[in-house]
Every structure is written in structure tokens, then in C-alpha cells.
Amino acid sequence: MGAIIAIVNNKGGVGKTTITTNLAHALANLQQEVLVIDADSQCNTSSFFFHGDVERVPAPNLYELLEDDAADVRDCIHAAPEYSRIAVLPTHPDLAGLEPVIIQRPDTGIRLMRDKLRDYAKTKYDFTLIDCPPNLGTFVMMAMVAADFVLVPLESGSKYSIDGIARTVGLIDDIRSEGQNKDLTLLRFLLNKARPRTIVARETHERLRERFPGRVFETVLSASTDLQQSEYLSETVIRSKPNSQLARLFRQLANEVVSLKEITTMQDAPSA
Ligand SMILES: Nc1ncnc2c1ncn2[C@@H]1O[C@H](COP(=O)(O)OP(=O)(O)OP(=O)(O)O)[C@@H](O)[C@H]1O
Ligand SMILES: [Mg+2]
């Protein structure tokens, strides 16, 4: 069975979208079948995969899936034009307007994503990555209720970044304890935008490991100007700068994620 990973941090600009797109590509290069879901009405991931142009994002998509009771998930998933083994469930800016409708159905609304796509995604794809908006609102809750794991990117060297994660961790605990998704697991924290060999980068990593032992990725993504060019081209850094340090780090991260999935799947297996 595949693993569903929600990429969550209520802080904006920490790299959720960059990590979603580049990790998806690195996993696909490891022969993994990947589904990318854009749960953010900013549509950054959606436009990234469809020629960098929000106008070219296909429909039906997540908007229709959540808005129309009769919509079928298979119709809402589209192959990424430039990337083998990556399928995308994109979204539309109007997604934000659905929030009040979903909130009116407190029990069923928050389960919509889980009910409509979890079984299909886990059967068809090795990995499903859900790019979340920078808040802990309705769509993030929906993603967490649908997911197996939460990956929390953090900006290296930012004290506020570490202080702010308490709310994200608290929400995971609430979703588990309230029974909306009792198996939801914090996969790992992932440090991003690190300035290598600086004291502050090292200290953030150490502080985080002390506070959350065994819950921090070994891979630390460095800050790199290579991303600006790749974003401009709507390409992953793995494609635009395959020999760069950041491309290598994303490949290393994908290997970590694949081995974590193997470990957790073994733990889930019923004992003989
Ligand atoms: N490792 C990095 N090195 C340099 N720049 C980076 C790195 N990671 C992300 N960025 C840049 O930081 C900005 C924010 O990144 P991104 O859009 O991925 O964050 P986000 O968490 O998805 O933001 P939002 O919360 O608005 O959805 C982008 O301009 C991106 O290019
Ligand atoms: Mg984003």
C-alpha cells in the first residue's frame, strides 16, 4: 500500500511547495509512482506542473471533487505533462470559497478528502504528497485526516520557526485523540534553507533533535539561488541543475523517505 504524506507548516514560505514538487520528482526518479495533491488555493503546485500557468491547470480538479458529490477522483487526477510517473490532483483558486460550505458540515466535511480519495490513492500510488496552505485551517485538517504521515518543513536558523511548530504538533495530537485519524503520524521535521557550516544552522538542527529525538530528517536542505532559476523555468532543481548540491540533497531526501516507508510498513504488518 502507498503512503500519504501531508506537507504542513502554518508558517508561510518555509518551502512546502518547493519540497512537494522536488521530492515528487526525486521519488519518481526512484521508480515510485507519485500522486501530488494541491490543497492550497494559491495553486503554486498546480501551476508548477502545468507549464507554470494557472490558466492551463486542467479541470475537473480538487475543487470539483470537493464541491460535487458525484465527482469521481479518477477524473480529477491528471498526468503531469513533463514528468513521468507523476500524477497531479491540482486545484483552482476558487477552492478557498468552498471553506464555508465544508465548515457547515462539521462531521462529513472534514472527512471529504479521506472518503473520496484515500483508498484509491493508497492502492494506485506508492506516494501521495499533499501540499498544504500556510495555516492550520479546514484544508490542512482535511489533508491530515486523509493522510498517514505529516512532514513538517522548517526554516533553518529561524527561532520562530521552531517555536511555531507546537501548534502543528498539537493539531496532529488532536486529530489522533479525537478519532478523526487515529493512525496519523509525524513522519519527520525537515530543515530547509540552511546556510551550511553556519553556527545557527547547526544549532537549529541540534535543538530540534533534542526536542524531537528520532523525528528529524538527516537530510538538511541548503539555501540555494539555483531554485530561483528553476522556479522561473517551472522546473524542479533536479531537472534544471541536476549536478547542484540541492538536487543531490533532494535525491538523498527521497531515499530517506523510501526507507522510512519500508520501516513503517514493516511495523504495520500483522505479526505472524
Ligand atoms: N532551499 C531553498 N533555497 C533557497 N530558496 C528557497 C529554498 N526553499 C524554498 N525557497 C524559496 O522560498 C520561497 C518560498 O518557498 P515555497 O513557495 O516552497 O514555500 P511555501 O511554504 O510553499 O510557501 P506558502 O506558505 O506561501 O505556500 C520561494 O521563493 C522558494 O524559491
Ligand atoms: Mg506553498
Distance of CA 76 to the CA centre of its chain: 18
Dist. CA 45 → ligand 2 center (Å): 7
pLDDT by 10s per residue, the chain, length 272: 999 999 999 999 999 999 999 999 999 999 999 999 999 999 999 999 999 999 999 999 999 999 999 999 999 999 999 999 999 999 999 999 999 999 898 778 999 999 999 999 999 999 999 999 999 999 999 999 999 999 999 998 777 677 778 899 999 999 999 999 999 999 999 999 998 778 888 888 888 899 899 999 999 999 999 999 898 899 999 999 999 999 999 999 999 999 998 877 665 555 44
Our answer on whether the CB atom of 17 is closer than 6 Å to any ligand 1 atom is yes
Q: Whose CA is nearest to atom 23 of ligand 1?
A: 13
Per residue in 145-167, pLDDT (tens digit) is: 999 999 999 998 777 677 778 89
Which ligand approaches the C-alpha of residue 193 most closely? 1
Contact 220, 206 (CB under 8 A): no
Q: Whose CA is nearest to atom 3 of ligand 1?
A: 223
Per residue in 34-49, pLDDT (tens digit) is: 999 999 999 999 999 9
The residue among 55, 53, 57, 98 whose CA lies nearest residue 77 is: 57
Amino acid at 14: V
Residues with a beta carbon under 5 angstroms from ion ligand 2: 16-17, 44
How far, in Å, CA of 192 to CA of 153, rounded? 7
Q: Whose CA is nearest to atom 10 of ligand 1?
A: 15
In the prediction, which pLDDT does 272 show?
42
Buried b (16+ CB within 10 A) or exposed e, 204-221: bbeebeeebeeebbebbb
The total of other beta-carbon atoms located within 10 Å of residue 267's CB is 8
Q: Which three cell numbers stand for residue 66?
A: 470537493
What's the CATH code, domain 3-264? 3.40.50.300
DSSP code string of 83-107? -TTEEEE---GGGGGGHHHHHTSHH
